[in-house]
Structure 1
């Protein structure tokens, strides 16, 4: 997969938002007022006759303003694909080359920003029967699924004395003390974790018990929620992530961090492997609508590894995802996200260039500034997770994985992410994967255990406790990327330390 502090990041986000908002409505990028450079512009061509996807943000997030934006979309020659009045976001398709300028002209003060959400033509087409779909959320069961959670809340299972066959190979669980936490609880059936990813294998024996079909949703059809299509098609990434979070304790295969909680498949990856902004927005809003407790986000939003607030198209997409994250957090959802696999220092965007964006077209080498962020992991209220590897091999010692992004004030906690054994689609089997994508679900699992024991805690309380309970870890060394800086209590490699499952349930 291509793959926080609420107080640390809040002030920066507000300052950059004020600048970018002014630039985005007019459609012209402006220079920063401080010493930072303007980020390298990326022109997204929208020729007449080519179906393109757009994000249009209302100035005020309410149904009335959203309807005004919808009217402007239609007047500008566009089709309303999906509306999210909760956050004032409209997803639109159009074949008109001047759509961005036209929707601003037609919408007037109702439009806060508009931008193309990808650099290439829409491949999934415009869904049939589109219109004012007000994002009430999908419901029902997917046909053909071998088992569906029936909606009844089961009593919490007592920790089992037995060991699953491959549990002894899961050194990562021991490193975060999940094995000790399981002596207290395997988690509550009341807790639901949304896996925003490529889908979860509904047949896997380690996942079927915990898969909540009724709350699973597919967001990869142009950003509209659907009760069908949420299983994996071209990638087993989401299945691997799901197993780390909640593979059942059933004397089969492996065991997850929280083996008794429920999992919802929230598919945000299309068959080509892209997670476009409208998919992510759908995923986060659906998580809020379905009252999920935790989400895991082991990806960055395509087509840009970093979304820059001084570029209108990128700003509009980033603003929509930011609104979706903020709204779902207010509904009680706490989000864990992978820090990324580029060995970058996220705290200093001037120290490197982005050479891989846009990844759905022709990449350009981009100069970045502090308003350029990897989303969703750098958004406020999201727990950013770096990856550790076992080092020396065969021991329980560890160091930062060479691929992991890092950054002082950017990383919240660390978790194992190199050579992680978990569930895969092929043969309903098990395999090893590496990446911050594999680190983040350990944290999502710990948050699920924490919510099981403390069901009334808010996302902010859970993040605060997660940081406080993390085991301090000194910088140490790594084989690639910027050097580690900061004290043992909060440094650029491990943030506030290694996530601790035992403390989360004690």
Structure 2
């Protein structure tokens, strides 16, 4: 998946042509302090150092796995029978290597981070500050005129008649949600929200990771987002119609923060597994996953270019995430993911230059093929989304692929026009604290450039930022799914229920079909350079648009 420039979907492989899709610089996932940290999270273990490992066992082989862990010199911390793994504590990589050949073991990985779908700050000409002095529109949200993305999918028209049900819970697995933001708070479910990570000031090499902890426990409150990526995603899904800023795709549903990402934008495997199982158990209806699993951009279970230890680690990622996704889907959770920001045809990968992305500096060039998976975008049961610019073309940074692309949605593309402009990106809510920490506001709270807007009224101001990425595309699809569940879901578990297979079918049915461009080999020209992406498939299903562009208006009017 792509990496967020703010943190999330994986470290995208970027070329000079996709620099605007840059993931957060050297923030592959989100490491932390060595050893065991809060919430059961541990830092990746060095050889010779004590650390935690996730040991995934074959079906029915729990006892054999526990015995093997003991023989290898480890001890079981706890067993997660829902997903078939043991959290074990042991010394160094020799422990993991001793388990790799055991027939009861599927894969073993240090308790590490997950990557993320790139969100990229938009660059370009300055945009004026929006405040009370400029006057507020007589109808609609104050910044609705800047939401070309909502008009592209008919959300502006859909919301006039149907905003979604408060009985629908949307989980955002991300860096957190600013639950106190004026354009988030009315729809934020603080009681159900959880933070599955603990901030890590330094990484295992002593370099700054998350930075200083904001609270004594180093575990941020459930309504905080020090990165901004998760808040942007949540805002696109369900910012309310309240006379402030913008409106989301489904402004009447509830948002649940399922934080699995560190302040620095990294994600670790266990928090992601925990977030998915928790979402399933509390009755979340749909989750948005704008990230990919690190340290491998492509997870290859039997790649000759990798050592047996590396293959086992990748098998653990593929197996563990698939089990968690299956568990969630089996409990009624619709799974939506960003596809990635690497400008790559995921059906024809050849080289991986970004793996292993952790620890930093361990990357090497290795050959890969289509048996290698980008997780969770290519995991079973997941609906994966490509990103479009305002012209409707596939965004230059967006990954694609005939097998991999399920749907498309606006993700922004500052390069989709004669000049570079942030107004071609996606505008959504941003935490003031994160903007101040990034130096994007002056002392008086005024935005320093066109990447950020503020909306002020009644003595209070709320902030918004422009970002590009498949991270921004996925929440549009998640919002449409929430509208469909609101319309067609049946009462159950205190809310509404609609089988994920039915949601998927309705998403495809209500999407607007889009054929491949003509010619199919589409040439992107940026700063005098050219890059060609080739679209395969027909109008009903192709590698650029999948089954089509998600359509909120159709979702609110279609017959099941």
Alpha-carbon distance between aligned partners in 2 of 1:231 and 1:69, rounded to the nearest angstrom: 39
Corresponding residue for 1:266? 258
Alpha-carbon distance between aligned partners in 1 of 2:538 and 2:110, rounded to the nearest angstrom: 42
- Larger deviation, residues 248-257 vs 68-77: 68-77
Residues 1:94 and 2:93 are matched in the alignment: no
Give the secondary-structure state (helix, strand or coil) at the position aligned to 1:324: helix
Give the secondary-structure state (helix, strand or coil) at the position aligned to 1:215: coil
- Larger deviation, residues 168-177 vs 69-78: 69-78
Say whether the 8 Å CA contact 2:377–2:404 is kept in structure 1.
no
Q: 2:237 aligns with which of 245, 265, 268?
A: 245
After superposition, the C-alpha distances for 1:240-298 in whole angstroms (9 at most, x for unaligned) are 00000000111111100000101111111123321122222112111111110000011
Alpha-carbon distance between aligned partners in 1 of 2:165 and 2:62, rounded to the nearest angstrom: 38
Deviation at 1:67, TM superposition (A): 6.4
* Unmatched 5+ stretches in structure 2: 10-43, 115-137, 200-217, 303-310, 413-424, 434-461, 491-497, 525-530
Corresponding residue for 1:137? none
Give the secondary-structure state (helix, strand or coil) at the position aligned to 1:307: coil
- Larger deviation, residues 69-78 vs 308-317: 69-78
Deviation at 1:47, TM superposition (A): 1.6
Residues 1:462 and 2:507 are matched in the alignment: no
* Unmatched 5+ stretches in structure 1: 4-43, 121-160, 392-397
Alpha-carbon distance between aligned partners in 1 of 2:383 and 2:113, rounded to the nearest angstrom: 29
Deviation at 1:94, TM superposition (A): 2.6
- Structure number with the bigger relative contact order (C-alpha 8 A, sep ≥ 6) is 2
Say whether the 8 Å CA contact 1:469–1:504 is kept in structure 2.
yes
Alpha-carbon distance between aligned partners in 2 of 1:272 and 1:431, rounded to the nearest angstrom: 18
Deviation at 1:431, TM superposition (A): 0.8
Residues 1:171 and 2:170 are matched in the alignment: no
Alpha-carbon distance between aligned partners in 2 of 1:45 and 1:354, rounded to the nearest angstrom: 24
1:220-231 correspondence runs (5 A) = 220-221=197-198, 229-231=221-223
Corresponding residue for 2:296? 304
After superposition, the C-alpha distances for 1:358-394 in whole angstroms (9 at most, x for unaligned) are 2222111121122211110111111110000012xxx
Q: 2:428 aligns with which of 415, 422, 425?
A: 422
Say whether the 8 Å CA contact 1:399–1:478 is kept in structure 2.
no
Cα-Cα RMSD: 2.6
Alpha-carbon distance between aligned partners in 1 of 2:388 and 2:475, rounded to the nearest angstrom: 13
Q: 1:210 aligns with which of 183, 187, 200?
A: 187
Give the secondary-structure state (helix, strand or coil) at the position aligned to 2:533: coil
TM-score between both structures, scaled by the size of structure 1? 0.76
After superposition, the C-alpha distances for 1:190-246 in whole angstroms (9 at most, x for unaligned) are 100100000000210111111111221122249xxx996434454100000000000
Corresponding residue for 1:275? 267
Give the secondary-structure state (helix, strand or coil) at the position aligned to 1:384: strand
Corresponding residue for 1:344? 344
Say whether the 8 Å CA contact 2:300–2:373 is kept in structure 1.
yes
- Larger deviation, residues 357-366 vs 408-417: 357-366
Alpha-carbon distance between aligned partners in 1 of 2:162 and 2:104, rounded to the nearest angstrom: 50
Residues 1:440 and 2:417 are matched in the alignment: no
Alpha-carbon distance between aligned partners in 1 of 2:177 and 2:408, rounded to the nearest angstrom: 24
Corresponding residue for 2:168? 191
Call closer, same or farther: CA 1:308–1:429 in 2, change over 3 Å.
same
Give the secondary-structure state (helix, strand or coil) at the position aligned to 2:82: coil
1:132-143 correspondence runs (5 A) = none
For this pair of structures, how many residues does the alignment match? Answer: 410
Corresponding residue for 1:359? 357
